[in-house]
Amino acid sequence: MKHKLKKLSIKIGVLAIIITMFCVIARIAVGNTITLYQFMIEKPEGAAEWVETLDNMEMSFEQEGIALIEKVRLNDGYAEIRIRAISPGRTSLNIKHKDSGTVSTLPIKCGRLLTIYSWTDGRFTGDVFVLSGVCLFCLLTALMLLLTFIKLRADELYSYKSIFIAGFAFFIGTGGIGMIPPIAGLITAPATNTVFGVYSAISGIGYSTMLIASPFLLAFAIAMSISNIELLRHESFRFRNVLGIFVSVVMVLGEFLIIVLNNLNYAGSAFGYNMLQLFVNILSIAYVYFECMLIGSIICGFRAAKHVPNHNVDYIIILGCKFRKDGTLTPLLQGRCDAAIDLFKRQREKTGKQAMLIPSGGQGPDESMPEADAMANYILSTGVPKECVLREDQSKNTYQNMEFSKALIEKRSSLPDSRVVFATTNYHVFRSGLWAKLVGLDAEGIGGRTKWWFWPNAFMRECAGLMANRIKQEVILFIVLVMICVGLSIVMFV
């Protein structure tokens, strides 16, 4: 995993360098010019054509020696004014219409590299190329993240990094897609579109991503609610049994609130409106960050649960849980055992190789025997040879399941040369793989079936647990995203 992430980082770095070089070359090719756009006042009475109003326009710079007017062209309702920088400094282009006496002011700045910045609409020399480069970087980065995720091996999948790769690929990909319309508008209709519009799309990446993901959210909320209602029909009312409904309601109401605030007819000051937009953008980023990490968790969890290992397994660890008082297995625990037994028998039929089954689980305070013994009794009843069952009866949790089973394997054979698989319930595969990684056990997971109405809510609990374990890293990344949003908002507001 580290090698692939290092390789991915190098690719993204190289891509950033290539995109930067493209922007620099494009900037040099454009020269030191920029085209400004000024809408015309109402057509003077008696004027036959718009071109006649050109003589009625008087243009001059407030401070000479900084920029020159190269060309002026009138279109349908607006003027294209191409200016060229000749020295660093600040000035304003004043446009006076002689018939009406109206004066328009277009403040500009010429940088040390003679790049011209317009304070009116955010334009700068080579802006289309730079912004297109940023958009392309986002899209290609998302593609590289996605391809890296697809190529992850089963044992590499069990990592918080894989959640981040899947979730951030969605986040930055939708952000790049959200930039396409304003950039296209800047190219095709420059007079009616501004660079600030592109900045707005970037700072509002959370809002645009939220809108793009809204169909997924609605389908997710409906599915979670249906599964939770069915779960309550079979089990008692507890908060963990309505977690899916709670999360779904919060997500739907959150999206509704953000949409309402974004479309609010605000009648206050410009500063108040800007602060409202900043609040909406930050709220959208917080909302979408959680949504993207949730999507990443679901993708990783689903892929882990559906994984089918090759038939070359040496050890199959079966993670225990509670069984009935009479020593028989619950459907949940039996599903784990059945998944392991099925792999054991299929491998023996196809290759003749017999794996060692390791039922893992100690004895709880209200259990009549270790969970390993209860599982072993069931496994042997299905025809698995006794010599193929190795019990681990001391563990109290998933971490110890992996740690103690690993110790048993190391006593029998060389761990690096042994192929290990663990069996658990489908919703628990991904998180169990994380515990295996923590104890230094490279293992693939297989998932036992469970009732359809139980799986979604249980998986939601797993997602919550995964995110809670990484709360510090998630807060840091969220703060970085908020700082980017605030910085772009300041650029637009100043």
CB 104 within 8 A of CB 149: no
Q: Name 315's bridge partners.
A: 356, 420
Whole-angstrom Cα distance, residue 491 to residue 494?
Answer: 6
User: Cβ contacts of residue 385 below 8 Å, gap of 6+?
Assistant: 354
pLDDT attached to residue 489: 58
Where is pLDDT greater, at 112 or 40? 112
Task: Give the Cα-Cα-Cα angle 179, 180, 181 (nearest 5 degrees).
Answer: 100
pLDDT attached to residue 494: 46
Where is pLDDT greater, at 216 or 63? 63
pLDDT attached to residue 271: 66
Res. 45: pLDDT tops 60: no
pLDDT attached to residue 258: 78
Where is pLDDT greater, at 337 or 241? 337
| Burial of 11 from C-beta contacts in 10 A (0-12 / 13-18 / 19+) | middle
**How much of the chain exceeds pLDDT 70, in percent?**
83
Q: What is the mean pLDDT of the chain?
A: 81
User: Cβ contacts of residue 331 below 8 Å, gap of 6+?
Assistant: 450, 451
12-22 mean pLDDT = 91
pLDDT digits (tens, 9 = 90+) for 426-479: 878 888 888 898 898 989 999 887 766 666 666 676 666 666 666 776 677 777
Where is pLDDT greater, at 318 or 285? 318
Task: Give the least confident one: 86-90, 194-198, 223-227.
Answer: 223-227
pLDDT digits (tens, 9 = 90+) for 110-148: 988 888 888 888 888 888 998 899 899 999 999 999 998
184-201 mean pLDDT = 84
pLDDT digits (tens, 9 = 90+) for 347-368: 999 998 999 999 999 988 888 8
pLDDT digits (tens, 9 = 90+) for 152-168: 877 777 877 888 888 88
Torsion sign across C-alpha atoms 282, 494, 73, 126: negative
pTM (two decimals): 0.73
